Structure 1
Amino acid sequence: MRRTGIFYAQLGLTILLCLFIVIPIVMSALAGVTVNVFQGLSSGLTLRWIFEVWDLYASSIFLSLWLAVACLFVTLIAGVPLAYVLVRKPGRATRLFEELLTLPVAIPGLALALALLITYGGVSGYRSSWLFILTGHVLFTLPFMVRSVAAVMSAMDMKTLEEGAASLGAGFWRRFFTVIVPNAKPGILAGALMVVTLSVGEFNLTWMLHTPLTKTLPVGLADAYASMRLEIGSAYTLIFFVLIMPLLIAMQILANRGSKPARTTATAEDK
């Protein structure tokens, strides 16, 4: 197929936009392994800043990863059944509930954090615990899980699937876990990817809710840049990418694999 000038113009624009995004990330990563950030690579390479970040912020990094895993667990337990109810029982009440569910996404993170502080800030043990931050992360990410799963469930003929399973003697919970959940796997995996990504990188909400003992990775990164220690901040960013990118790539691969059966089934039905 002959390619026109418009194609090459679009390709060139795409490459320029990618470079515009990628180059600052590469420069920030390189700054984390150079002796002097202002002199650049000419000052030499070093791992000093990496080790210093690990010594100072290792607990913050592990806390962020733990919060992401805990947030994923809670949103899976709550989000999948909620999505099922919203799709299976459509009506005015469920639509109202869905709108209320998306409020934490619509309002600023600082406002949501302030509401949590006003309501639960007086509970000392809870306020100083990582569970307080987890509550904010769950409120913020739950709508993304519910919407992703509900979108896939809406495309399914759940009534027929459940009636078929019921005719074979399967009870409600067996139908839910062996029929509905496997067919909703693409939406669950897509929602899980969004939840983990948002939880690890969430700053506004976490900044208001954290304490000196519950400092997360984005808050520590902001502290490093605020203190004008650019080498530390850049090394912190590099560690962040090294930790989070393999996790996101693995989850993306799982999401792609999980969506293949759904596409195959759809193709077979179309035929």
Structure 2
Amino acid sequence: MPTARTWIACGQWLVTLATCAFLIVPVVMSIVAGLTVNYFRGVASGLTLRWLDEVWTQYHASVFLSLEVAAATLAVTLLTGVPAGYALARSKTRLSRVIEELLVLPVALPGLASALALLVVYGGFSAFRMSVAFIVVGHVVFTLPFMVRPVAAVCSQADLRTLEEGAASLGASFWQRFVTIVLPNARPGIVAGALAVLTLSIGEFNLTWMLHTPDTKTLPVGLADTYASLRLEVGSAYTILFFLMTMPLLVAMQWLGVDVPGVAGKQHKRQKPKDTV
């Protein structure tokens, strides 16, 4: 006879599978809709790649623009977020905690509010307002905390501080310690932050929708346009294209075994010194 523990385990699996089905089935249905001749008749109408070809013909520019914006956002967040995370981890003052909370503030605000603030302050510079750089600035504001937090979590480890102190005692300069010790040991946090920044930048809609122009339409904005056209086959085909862009990043995040909130737990453990005679 099954024990109570077995019934509990079966119940947990049932709840897990039901939750996965609830989340995955709509995605699968949307993908299937993008490959069918007629959405309302379903698979019985036949399968086709017509809608994918139509989406690529009309919106391929938005795909490359999204990749360009994501790459530029990643470059800026790496150059600013990694040093900022290291500085916040090393500083124990109240001011550093205030700065850290201010960096996270854009995440707590709706994307429309952040975009409106950027428009109010910088909207008067027409050349800047109409350029892709304006969207990049908005994405940097939104994604920077996702780079700073993982890096700060890694750099706050006691092992890294010990290695730095040892290198300093041997005469290494600050930049030598930062390049040869901090960056290699902070790699899990940097990788986690980079994957998070890329994924969020490619998929960001609210902020981008407020900041974009007809010449700077990114992938999520184009997706909204296709669904607004009331042709579900085209919108679903666009979803497939979006899925093909974001899934490799999500798989890479899982494969590398890094987790944005818990990067600190991924650090190498200190080895115990061997007993000496």
For residue 83 of structure 2, the aligned residue among 81, 84, 90 is 81
Residue pairs, 1:80-119, within 5 angstroms:
80-119=82-121
2 CA distance for matches of 1:263 and 1:93? 28
CA distance in 1, matches of 2:257, 2:38: 41
- What is aligned with 1:265? 268
Structure 1 runs (4+) greater than 6 angstroms displaced = none
Kept in 1, the 8 Å contact 2:115–2:138? The answer is yes
Residues matched between the structures, number: 269
1:177-196 paired onto structure 2 within 5 Å:
177-196=179-198
**Residue identity in the other structure for 1:50:** L
TM-score, with structure 1 as normaliser: 0.93
Shift of 1:255: 4.9
| CA-CA distance at 1:270 after TM superposition | 9.8
Aligned to 1:253: 255
Counterpart of 1:44 in 2: which secondary structure? strand
Q: How far, CA to CA, are the matches of 2:36 and 2:186 in structure 1? A: 47
How big is the alpha-carbon RMSD for the aligned residues of Structure 1 and Structure 2? 2.3
Please give the secondary structure, in 2, of the residue aligned with 1:215: coil
Deviations 1:150-193 (A, max 9, x none): 11222243332111112232210110111011111111111112
Aligned amino acid, residue 219 of structure 1: V
Structure 2 regions of 5+ residues with no counterpart?
none
Greater helix proportion: 1
More displaced 10-residue stretch of structure 1: 23-32 or 148-157: 148-157
User: CA separation in 2, counterparts of 1:267 and 1:171?
Assistant: 24
SS at match of 1:169: coil
One-letter code of the match for 1:187?
G
Q: How much does 1:251 deviate?
A: 4.3
**Distance in structure 2 (CA, Å) of the matches to 1:121 and 1:98:** 27
Cα distance in 2 for residues equivalent to 1:270 and 1:65: 47
CA contact 1:130–1:214 (8 Å) conserved in 2: yes
Native 8 Å contact 2:30 2:239 kept in 1: yes
2:229 to 213, 227, 235: 227
Contact persistence 2:154–2:267 (CA under 8 A): no
Cα deviation digits, residues 55-87 of structure 1 (max 9, x gap): 110010111111111111111110110011111
Gaps of 5+ in 1: none
The normalised TM-score by structure 2 is: 0.91
2:13 equivalent among 11, 16, 19? 11
Cα distance in 2 for residues equivalent to 1:137 and 1:201: 10
8 Å CA contact 2:36, 2:48 repeated in 1: yes
Asked if the contact 1:189/1:255 (under 8 Å) is kept, the reply is: no
The structure 2 residue matched to 1:199, chosen from 198, 201, 226, is 201
Change (3 A) 1:81 1:255: farther
Structure 1 residues 27 and 87: CA distance shift in structure 2, 3 A: same
CA distance in 1, matches of 2:137, 2:267: 38
Q: Which amino acid aligns with 2:17?
A: I
User: What is the deviation of 1:144?
Assistant: 1.2
**Among the aligned pairs, what percent are the same residue?**
61
CA offsets per residue over residues 237-256 of structure 1, 9 Å max, x none? 00111122123323443455
Instruction: State whether structure 2 residue 71 is matched by structure 1 residue 43.
Output: no
Higher deviation after alignment, 87-96 or 25-34:
87-96
Distance 2:21 2:87 in 1: 44
Shift in CA distance, 4/80, structure 1 to aligned 2, threshold 3 Å: same
Q: CA deviation at 1:15?
A: 0.4
2:217 is aligned to 215
Which residue of structure 2 aligns with residue 28 of structure 1? 30
CA, structure 1 residues 232+214, in 2 after alignment: closer, same or farther (shift >3 Å)? Answer: same
**Kept after mapping to 2: 8 A contact 1:149/1:191:** yes
